[in-house]
Amino acid sequence: MYESHFGLKEAPFALTPNTRYFLKARSHSEALELLLVALREREGFIKITGEVGTGKTLLCRLLLNALDKKAATAYIPNPSLTPENLYEAVADELGVTVGDNDNTHRILKALTNRLIELAAKGRRVVLVIDEAQAMPENTIEALRLLTNLETENTRLLQVVLFGQPELNVLLNKASLRQLKQRITFQYHLAPLDRASVAQYLRHRLARAGYNGGELFAPAALRLITKASGGIPRLVNILAHKSLLAAWGRGDALVVRWHVMQAMRDTDSAYRVGFFGRWL
């Protein structure tokens, strides 16, 4: 679309999480480092929270890539499951064959044997759950019971929970206090500040093949930061639409006017007008 106009090899602001575009902003770098350290120390439960669009799924993929060949991993992207379905999903991810007529007891026994087998080979097992705030309460309790599996020397299963802030509300329920007590490390992903938004835009443009001067004027950068609230997904949407607006007029520089057009077309943007008024 506008790629050739701006000297790009590909679209820089796609919404699909792509680890190649990961920017080591302070919040996200700290979260990834915490995850790797906590898992190395064999901690049981680790929790990462963040608002919608802050990059949790991207961080989740980075973690899985970092653990590749270092640990056996099970990834559950949609945890809105019954306890039985959760056990089946984890078993499937770890290569455990489950029969159609197997009951929960048999599935757990097969899963336990697999965990012991991996531990005997010196392999850590990490269960990563994305969108954990969607887990039913009884499934979270089933997850806690699953992590009770351990030998005299080591924990057989570590769990990383990625979720929106609603996950904290869920875990604050008295019925889930035992699981909450097991969360030894946690981190909340913060929105990007203005300097980080500017760095983020430059980084993605460079990854997409851009090698020119500043493409976003300072006023455009300030408005994108304010209108997005520093949420990376919204930054992507507004930057993409701003580039479209500039391309449509044949402009080589994205200015405040282009961002205003992008904001008018984005319901989730903070509607700040030219003089700070709400549009």
pLDDT in tens, 17-73: 888 888 888 888 999 999 999 999 888 899 999 999 999 999 999 999 999 888 999
**252-268 burial: b if 16+ Cβ within 10 Å, else e:** eebbbbbbbbbbeebee
Residue 276 has pLDDT above 60, yes or no: no
Amino acid at 113: N
State the Rg of the chain over Cα.
Answer: 22
pLDDT at 154: 74
Q: Are 244 and 200 in contact (CB under 8 A)?
A: no
Residue 279 has pLDDT above 50, yes or no: no
Give the Cα separation of 167 and 189 in Å (integer): 14
Residue 275 has pLDDT above 50, yes or no: no
Give the Cα separation of 76 and 73 in Å (integer): 10
* Domains identified in the chain and CATH numbers: 26-188 (3.40.50.300), 192-264 (1.10.8.60)
pLDDT at 202: 96
Listed residue (142, 210, 146) closest to 176, CA to CA: 142
- Six token digits for residue 41: 């120390």
Burial of 227 by CB count in 10 Å (0-12 exposed, 13-18 middle, 19+ buried)? Answer: buried
